[in-house]
Amino acid sequence: MSYADHAASDCRLIILKALAQETDHRLNETLIQKILESFGHTKSRDYVRTQLNKLTELGAVRVSAAGSVQVAELLGPGLDHVERRALLDGVLKPSPGV
């Protein structure tokens, strides 16, 4: 796995964990971008959208538009990954004790 692939899989895990911590399991892309920055991933909004698209393809999230901003909502397979019940290909495996 290349560094870029590893970084992307880490970003996807961070996104899923952040969504799982929200009461309604939703965050907008601006907040997701700030969360990624807090974990050392300084990425563009386009990069965040690319990761959200990948997570959508995996069935982990649903993305909707709120004006010009995308809002991600965690779905069952994404929560299953965070809680280590099932793993998603292309998303870093969560550590025990999440």
Question: What would the pLDDT profile of 29-61 be if each residue is shown by its tens digit?
Answer: 999 999 999 999 999 999 999 999 999 999 999
Q: Domain count for the chain, please give it.
A: 1
Residue 35 forms part of a structural domain: yes
> Which domain range does residue 36 map to?
24-82
Q: What is the pTM assigned to this prediction?
A: 0.95
Query: Taking 90 as the threshold, does the pLDDT of residue 98 lie above it?
Result: no
The predicted structure's pLDDT at residue 92: 97
Residue 55 forms part of a structural domain: yes
In this structure, what CATH number is given to the domain that contains residue 61?
Answer: 1.10.10.10
- Contacts of 86-89 with CB under 8 Å at 24 or more apart are 88/12, 88/58, 88/60, 89/58
The predicted structure's pLDDT at residue 67: 95
Question: What would the pLDDT profile of 57-89 be if each residue is shown by its tens digit?
Answer: 999 999 999 999 999 999 999 999 999 999 999
Angular region, 51: left φ>0, alpha ψ -120 to 50, beta rest = alpha
The CA-based angle 84-6-66, given to 5 degrees, is 75
The predicted structure's pLDDT at residue 96: 85
What spatial distance separates the first Cα and last Cα of the chain, rounded to whole Å? 24
